[in-house]
Structure 1
Amino acid sequence: MQLIETPHLNLDYSFQGLTDEQLEAYAKKRLPKNFDQLKQQLIKGEFKNASEQRPVTHTLCRSIHSVIRAGNGKNRFTEIVRTLRSGKWLGATGKPIKDVVNIGVGGSDLGPMMGSFALKEFADDASLHNLKVHFVSSMDGGQLYAVLPIVDPETTLFIIASKSFGTPDTLANVDTVMEWAQLTIPHEQWLQHHVIGVSANNQAMTDFGIPAKNQLSFADSVGGRYSLWSAIGLPIALTIGSHQFGRMLDGAQQMDEHFNRQPLKQNIPLMMALIGVYNREERNINNLAILPYDGRLRNLPNYLQQLDMESNGKQSSYDNKAISYATAPIIWGGFGPNGQHAFFQHLHQGYDMFTADFIAILHRDAPGFDFSVQQSLREQQRLAVANCLAHRRLMWQGSQKSQDPRNNYPGAKPSNLIFLDELNPSSLGALIAAYEHKVFTQGVIWGLNSFDQPGVELGKKVAAEIHEAIDHMDTAQQPSQSFDPSTDHIIKRM
């Protein structure tokens, strides 16, 4: 058995088919000689994002020195959390806020949504936990269409979360919300009592009309997909309280120390990174399935998809030279027990190769229920773990005992088992930080800048041009410019 254990997180890589000696030799071959120095720079917030000319500082957000962690009564983040969770934040008509809607996209949505859903049973004071937190990200308004009918403008607060405070997707949702709210509350009062801004751009929040007391900021050097540790994590803190949010930061910081200090055979993120590079380069496997076997982690695959693919899905080097070799794999997956009744058929007997991270939670206390219900829920947890272990084992070992092709399982699909003794704020923080450091290490090995995302910028520019052409059709018979026959046809149809 090949196992690395830590207080919050454990990695079993026995089903990768690689010896520790092979992995150590591969590390010597692929890790740059200055890797320890680069790793320490990351932990200290000194690693450079070369293309954007700024340091990378998300690890500092979980430091004891972070403004989010300040324990005094003057800390705005803590005060906002305490006021909202105690029911003392009043709307414009004097009614307490009951619902909070986070409007964001990408890192301003995926991390807060994943963390809030995973940890909602860990609220530090159930008597204060009377808020319902909702998430809206889709630019088409589909999520707003579902949320607005079930909330009251007099008792709903909106978090506008955007690093730049200029993201078109987010502002489109905000425009619709303003139209909805002003039917009940005058705009200035709505801004005073029903809006919190979270951004790295304080001036843009001020220009929008958000009062300074309702603004939370974070450093421009914190990347969006790495920002749940910062003020962007406000929905998580509103769900579980500031103390439990601090425990999540503590778990991440402990993983920082583990990554920084432990040698390869005891280092979970480093081992995950090297195995991933080996599978990509030596086995030519171009995809990684994330398979959590706990419903609380059902949003984890989407979160890790952005973390990994937006960081390392690139064809240019750290110093902006063209590269011609494969980098990040395609990240996909889903909630394991549901996947067994959907895509696992292909995993077991399809022709395509893949590698997988199975994620299991071994124990669950199930607080808030009677003893008999707790026992039943614990038994369900055992059932989930049993299925996780069974499918992982079968995907690796296979089964060719039957002459019937329908019962032939080829096996030889490599996977990790990442398991937590229990899911709580500390262990979730450690889990997410481990994946962050895996992505960083792979980016260093492939010579990438993992902290920019130029690939989406051109799409935004072209989208703006097409949007302008669609709007132009409202006042003219022809669009403002031509694109291609297919695109032009759709514009005219609109």
Structure 2
Amino acid sequence: MDITQFPSWQRLTNLAEDMHGRHLRDLFADDPQRAARFSLELPEFLFDFSKNLLDDEIFVNLLQLARDAGLESWRDRLFSGQPINRTEGRPVLHPALRGELPGDVKVDSVSVEALVANELGRLKEFVNLLHNGDLIGCTGKSITDVVNLGVGGSHLGPEMVIEALRAYRRDEVRIHFVSNVDGAQLADVLTQLNPDTTLFVVSSKTFTTTETMTNARSALAWFGSLAPRADLLQRHFVAVTASPEKACAFGIEPQRVFRFWDWVGGRFSLWSAIGLPIAMAIGFDGFRALLDGAASMDRHFRQAPLEQNAPVVMALVSLWYCTFMGYPAHAILPYEQALHMLPAYLQQAEMESNGKSTTRAGEEADYRTGPLIWGMLGINGQHAFYQYLHQSPEVVPADFIGSVAPGHGLPGHHEILLANMFAQSQALMNGVSRGEVEKQLAARGLGRDEIRQLAPYKVHSGNRPSNTILLRKLDPHSLGALIALYEHKIFAQGVILQIYSFDQWGVELGKGLAAALQPQLESGDCHNQDASTAGLINYYGRVKAGAAALEFAG
């Protein structure tokens, strides 16, 4: 049944109109227990969603909408391995990678649990060899630097996690990331490295990704005559892929090909062998703790009642704003330097999943689905775009993320950091009224005319909602739980909005066009191109030819 036809949807539409006329300050004033009632305390963090434009009636109807959408049965299908990725005919089993399925699911008659356990064992063995100095390059020297070549989910997740867990990095090896086919990034990384002691991890689900394979070929050429090609590929390259036969055809030895499977989406793959750089950076035990943290969130998502279920509540709050209240964007604002890549990671995870306009029925959705996700470190954002958050006509709900324990030993810093985080969410909620501004200006000794002229510019309407996630400590376990929290939030929101969250056909379109355009760019042939694209190709060819002529003349 069309989700918009349920009474809960219709009721929420009417409640949204009413809520536009209410203020968060009044909601708190009317309910002294609001903060306690609209907070959830989990083993890893406190989730405070009290600073949202919700009341009991809205919350009850949001929960009913989730039940009307069949969220609980869809959740069961996810964890039982049913092919809920219908447009690609696949199950969605990234929770299996952290060992949290209710039973031993089989795909193509093969035990998923056994596949995962075997690959984790191989990862552990390889990482231990690296950390013990037993991974040797062609010249007999131990590997000291690892370069991950990947793009999208094959690089963003591992890099984000390694940055977040910088306090847990080991000293045996340095990890570098190259994702851009712009050769400037690869060239910059290579200038820092010694070919004798460098290992490349080629991470590509299909092992045909243009950006990654171009970088892999250039990396192989970088070794020059250090050793024969076969020896280089045996000693200095490993592959992580769902297409092991293609990695072997490239020349990488089978024992150095680590596998994940087509039931693992790229943006949910850091828990798989794609996380090999994570295990290299923080040790296999640290990687296991990351998986265990995610598994704890899997259990919470499967077992907690909807009203006490953190991913479900997050999904309902986000849906309430984007779909009913008409707020199309959402900001991710970590107050933790180590989480500086989290906004970019969540941008991919959510927008690639729920940036859809076609429902599961194959019809155009006549409502907003997922919001635009953006953000950056909170302290930096305060001096960049918070002006927009506070006084723009647009309302942007936000997630503030911090931790109780600092990731360093410098006194005084962390209290300043958290004071800013708490103050910003408070300021967004309360604002400053015209009367309050005038009183403050009068206390400074300004005259009546000055106050009248200046006051309008200093008014903050407030009533701008936010969530606060306060980790006990940022460590591998809590980070795993935090990432899985958002994964399940994305899934729940997609289910309720009746879209398929686990395909990405919008990504595939551009890839196909680029592959067709590349030979035309090289040849200058603009056949069958629109006028704009033909003009760009012609300009590129003209300027390139002119530069070549000048170089020849010189």
Normalised TM-score (structure 2): 0.83
Please say if 1:195 is aligned against 2:228: no
Name the SS of the counterpart of 2:384 in structure 1: coil
CA deviation digits over 1:103-142, x for unaligned, max 9? 101100110000111113224xx5xx32100111012123
1:127-138 → structure 2 map (5 Å cutoff): 129-138=171-180
Do structure 1's residue 390 and structure 2's residue 441 form an aligned pair? no
Using the TM superposition, give the Cα deviation of residue 67 of structure 1 relative to its aligned residue in structure 2, in angstroms: 5.9
State the distance in 1 between where 2:92 and 2:362 align: 18
Q: Secondary structure at the match of 1:48?
A: coil
Distance 1:422 1:402 in 2: 38
Q: Is it true that 1:52 corresponds to 2:98 in the alignment? A: no
Rounded to whole Å, the distance in 1 between the matches of 2:502 and 2:118 is 30
Paired position in structure 1 for 2:190: 148
Matches within 5 A, 1:9-408: 9-32=45-68, 34-63=70-99, 66=113, 70=117, 75-123=121-169, 126=170, 129-364=171-406, 366=408, 374-376=409-411, 379-400=412-433, 401-403=436-438, 404-408=455-459
How many positions carry a matched residue from both structures?
475
In the alignment, is the contact (CA less than 8 A) between 1:38 and 1:47 conserved in 2?
Answer: no
- Cα distance change of structure 1 residues 322 and 349 upon mapping to structure 2, 3 Å threshold: closer
Distance 1:71 1:49 in 2: 25
**Letter aligned with residue 153 of structure 2:** G
Superposed CA offset, 1:222-281 (max 9, x none): 000010010001111111111111111111111011011111332110000001111112
Q: 2:514 aligns with which of 463, 476, 490?
A: 463
Does the 8 Å contact 2:65/2:496 carry over to 1? Answer: no
2:505 counterpart residue number:
454
Indicate the residue corresponding to 2:468 in structure 1: 417
Query: Which amino acid letter does the alignment assign opposite residue 63 of structure 1?
Result: G
- 1:186 deviates by 2.7
Task: Tell me if the contact between 2:315 and 2:493 (Cα under 8 Å) persists in the aligned partners.
Answer: yes
Secondary structure at 1:135 match in 2: strand
Indicate the percent of aligned positions where both proteins have the same amino acid: 41
Rg bigger for which structure?
2
Corresponding residue number in structure 2 for 1:476:
none
| Greater helix proportion | 2
How far 1:397 sits from its partner (Å)?
A: 0.8
Structure 1 unaligned spans of 5+:
367-373, 474-478
- The 8 Å contact of residues 67 and 75 in structure 1, kept in 2 or not, is answered as no
The letter for the 2-side match of 1:130 is: E
1:30 deviates by 4.4
Distance 1:310 1:347, change over 3 A: same
Q: Using the alignment, how far apart are the partners of 2:151 and 2:69 within structure 1?
A: 38
- Over 3 Å counting, the alpha-carbon distance change for 1:250 and 1:358 in structure 2 is same
**3-state SS in 1 of match to 2:76:** helix
CA contact (8 A) 2:354 2:494 kept: yes
1:304 corresponds to which letter in structure 2? L
**DSSP 3-state at the match of 1:402:** helix
8 A contact 1:103–1:135 mirrored in 2: yes
Of 474, 477, 490, the match for 1:426: 477
Distance 1:107 1:66 in 2: 22
Q: Deviations over 1:87-107 (max 9, x none)?
A: 210101111111100010110
Aligned equivalents of 1:215, 1:346: Cα separation in 2: 48
Letter in 2 for 1:46: Q
Secondary structure in 1 aligned to 2:332?
strand
Q: 1:485 aligns with which of 501, 518, 531?
A: 531
Distance 1:87 1:380 in 2: 38
| Residues 227 and 82 of structure 1, relative CA distance in 2, 3 Å threshold | same
Distance in 2 (CA, whole Å) between partners of 1:31 and 1:384 is 39
Aligned partners of 1:299, 1:460: CA distance in 2, in Å? 25
Alpha-carbon distance in structure 2 between the residues aligned to 1:351 and 1:446? 27
Alpha-carbon deviation of 1:419?
Answer: 1.2
Shift of 1:68: 8.4
1:318 and 1:472, CA in 2 relative to 1: closer, same or farther beyond 3 A? same
Q: In the alignment, what sits opposite 1:369? A: none
Alpha-carbon distance change, 180 to 80 in structure 1, aligned in 2, over 3 angstroms = same
| Deviation of 1:319 (Å) | 4.1
Aligned partner letter, 2:437: S
- Rounded to whole Å, the distance in 1 between the matches of 2:480 and 2:56 is 27
Match of 2:486 in 1: 435
Once the two structures are TM-superposed, the CA of residue 463 in structure 1 deviates from its matched residue by 1.2
Per the alignment, residue 24 of structure 2 pairs with none
Provide the alpha-carbon RMSD of the alignment.
Answer: 1.8
Cα deviation, 1:368-418, whole Å, max 9, x if unaligned, reads xxxxxx242xx2122111100001110111012214233221111111001
Letter matched to residue 390 of structure 1: A
CA distance in 2, matches of 1:92, 1:279: 57
CA shift for structure 1 position 457: 1.7
Matches of 2:80 and 2:468 in 1, distance apart? 30
Distance 2:122 2:155 in 1: 21
Measured against aligned partners, the alpha-carbon deviations of 1:27-62 in whole angstroms (never above 9, x if no partner) come to 213443532121122233335210111111111000
Aligned partners of 1:45 and 1:58 also within 8 Å: no
| Segment of structure 1 superposing worse, 8-17 or 482-491 | 482-491
Separation (CA, whole Å) in 1 of partners of 2:421 and 2:115: 37
Give 3-state SS (helix, strand or coil) of 1:465's partner: helix
1:159 deviation in Å? Answer: 0.4
* Superimposed CA distance per residue, residues 49-91 of structure 1 (whole angstroms, 9 cap, x where no aligned partner): 101111111110000785687499x921111111112221010
Q: How many angstroms apart in 2 are the aligned matches of 1:462 and 1:284?
A: 34
Residue 289 of structure 1 aligns to a residue in which SS? strand
| Structure 2: distance between partners of 1:280 and 1:344 | 20
CA distance in 2, matches of 1:480, 1:279: 45
In 2, the alpha carbon distance for the partners of 1:380 and 1:185 equals 51
